[in-house]
Amino acid sequence: MENMAGLGEKEGAIKVGTDIFAEDMAEIALRFGQNERFADKTVVITGCAGFLGFYLSHYFARLADHGLAPRRLVLLDRFPAGKPGWLAQLQDRHPFVTAAAYDVARSDERSAAELAEAHYIIHMASIASPIQYRQYPLETIEANVWGFRRLLDAGRQSLSLEGLLYFSSSEIYGDPETEFIPTPESYCGHVATMGPRACYDESKRLGETLGYVYHEQFGVPVRIVRPFNNYGPGMSLQDGRVPADFARSVLRGEPLVIHSDGSPTRTFCYITDAIVGYLKVLVHSAFDCFNIGMDKPEISIAGLAEIYREAGARRFGYAGEVRYVPASDERYLIDSPMRRCPDLRRARVLLGYDPVVTLESGVDRFLAYLQKAGSL
């Protein structure tokens, strides 16, 4: 199972070689600073074809440019939109990179030898877009639960595994009460077990429980990350989440459409800040879960639209307006949280994690990347 918002060779697809992407890669390597840890190690990534998988795959592959190449980089995905061209480029450039079509929840087991030699496994295979996971609820549950359990079973048998990173979600918190904003990892959640979003929220929660049990019972080196609203170069403009929708509207000169009253609030984390955090969690020395994202500003969707509108005006002469249009799907807003903001104190203290890219700068970089990549 993969991130079904994964990029193919279509609108919004990554163009390797743009200045902004190269700058992002250099920034990640510099700020993470523990790059030697992966030298001569085997790294397996499930769900590699999506937005985050693209950045992580290139990060590990580019370690070879500094004499720190992994022994093997195994990239797995279902590739429903076809295998993206950048994967072939990575394989051509780096002989240690292999990519295979693989459904982590349903395909035949990978060879015992391949998983047994893994030093790091990153499990991102899932469906993260609300529009898409509501279309594929069973597949979403399978990837987050059954697929993860298969990896945990492999990790249980491994003698080399140093870290198994499970991508959970900030959605496991549901719609927190006001006194739990910003939301710490200790908050147990206010989540609906039935409803259009439950397939994602609850399967991520159960995945966390599985990780905890396998760590407690068998010593599997599980680490859990809870991402908060990542955005930036590499997002499919068909993703269905607000940062991608607004970017597409700006590029096309269309109105910025909001399907709520604009008052729900979120924080948004630029891709370089996010990837640095994920790598820090991957190599953390103990079982734990961490919020990774940006904790300021907590901004309304209407406020985010204004930032896109202003950035588009500066860069493209964009003159579109903000429109409030009810969603065609009457269940679109059911169980959608009113506020989402992470408490990052645990990540700051234990990981030294400190996001630095402002929302205005990140949005401008995102739009500039799309402009240079020829997405206009």
Burial class (CB in 10 A: 0-12, 13-18, 19+), 192: middle
Burial class (CB in 10 A: 0-12, 13-18, 19+), 46: buried
Q: Tell me the backbone φ, ψ of residue 20, rounded to 5 degrees.
A: -65, -40
pLDDT score for 2: 37
Q: What is the pLDDT of residues 304-317, one digit of tens each?
A: 999 999 999 999 99
Q: Tell me if 255 is assigned to some domain.
A: no
| Tokens at 184, concatenated | 């710490």
Q: Tell me if 280 is assigned to some domain.
A: yes
Give the integer Cα–Cα distance in Å for 160 and 142: 26
Q: What is the pLDDT of residues 19-55, one digit of tens each?
A: 999 999 999 999 999 999 999 999 999 999 988 999 9
Q: Tell me if 243 is assigned to some domain.
A: no
pLDDT score for 238: 84
Q: Tell me if 235 is assigned to some domain.
A: no
Neighbours of 345 (CB within 10 A): 13
Domain that holds residue 81: 19-230+271-294+340-357
pLDDT score for 307: 98
| Dihedral-angle region of residue 28 (phi above 0 means left; psi in -120 to 50 means alpha; beta otherwise) | alpha
- CATH code for position 289: 3.40.50.720
Q: Tell me if 223 is assigned to some domain.
A: yes
Q: Tell me if 275 is assigned to some domain.
A: yes
Higher pLDDT, 116 or 73: 73
pLDDT score for 111: 55
Q: Give the containing element (helix H, strand E) for 57.
A: helix 51-62
pLDDT score for 16: 58
Diameter of the chain measured on Cα atoms: 59
Q: Tell me if 264 is assigned to some domain.
A: no
Neighbours of 11 (CB within 10 A): 14
Which residue, 198, 199, 235, 214, is CA-closest to 164? 214
Q: What is the pLDDT of residues 148-176, one digit of tens each?
A: 999 999 999 998 999 999 999 999 999 99
The total number of structural domains that make up the chain: 1
What's the pLDDT band for 15 if we cut at 50, 70, 90? Answer: low
pLDDT score for 115: 75
Q: Tell me if 365 is assigned to some domain.
A: no
Q: What is the pLDDT of residues 235-266, one digit of tens each?
A: 888 888 899 999 999 999 999 999 989 999 99
pLDDT score for 7: 30
Share of the chain above pLDDT 90, in %: 75
The answer on pLDDT for 91 being more than 70 is yes
**pTM, to two decimals:** 0.93
